[in-house]
Amino acid sequence: MQRLKVLITGTSSGVGKAVAEKFLKEGHIVYGIDIKKSSIKNKRYTHYIADVRYTEQLPDIKNINILINNAGTINEEEALDTNIKGYINVAEKYCFQPEIKSVVMIGSGCSVTGVDLPFYCASNGARNSYTINLANRLGELYKIPVNLLGLELVETDFDGLFNHPEKVEEVKKLTLLERSMKLEDSAKWVYFIAVENKNMTGQCIMIDNGESVKHHFVDYRD
C-alpha cells in the first residue's frame, strides 16, 4: 500500500482527531492543524497550531495527497468566518498541488435540514455549494474526487450535546435509525471516501442515520 501524506484540520479533538488516528493506524503520514495543542503521539504525525480564518497562519506543507477539511465551530459569532472562510482558505492553499489525489470536506446534516442555529446552518449550507465548486475546478485540473460528508449526531463534545443524555435521546428520535454515530465510525466513513472512492465526486452525502430524509406522511385518503 502506498503511504499517503494526509492533511487534516481540527485534529485536537472529535472527528478530526479520530480521522487522524485512523489514517495513522493505516500507516500514513498525517499533518494536523488546530487552534489547540494535540494529544496525538505518533512519529508520523506533525501538529501545527493555527487559526484557519487567517491564511498567514497556515503552514506551508507541500506534496499533500489527501486533504480532510474538517475544522469548524458552533459559535454563532465565529461560524461564518471559521466554517466557510476558513474552509475556503484551507482548500485554496493546499488542494492545488499536482500530488493531490482526493479531498473530503466535513459538514453537517443541518446544511440540508436547517435544524440548528442560524449562522451555523448557513455556514454549512455554504460548505455544500463550495464543495461542488471545488470539485469542478479540481476535476478539470487533476481528475480527482472531491466530496462532502454531512455527519450528524456524532458522539463528541463538539457542541456539548452529549453532556445531556436526555437531550441525546430526544435527538435520536428525529432519525430513522434512532441512534447516534461513534467517532470511530465517522473516521471509517471519511477514510473510505478519501482512499477507496475513485468514482464519486461533487457530492454532499448525509451520514446522519436518516435524519435528513425522515418524513411523516399523513394520508388523508379513505
Domain boundaries of the chain, sorted by first residue: 5-207
Q: What is the mean pLDDT of the chain?
A: 94
pLDDT at 24 over 90: yes
User: What is the pLDDT at residue 157?
Assistant: 78
| pLDDT, average across residues 165-188 | 92
The verdict on domain 5-207 having CATH code 3.40.50.720 is yes
Give CA–CA dist 172/180, Å, rounded: 6
Residue 221's pLDDT band (cuts 50, 70, 90): confident
- Cell matching residue 61: 506543507
User: Could you tell me the pTM of the whole model?
Assistant: 0.94
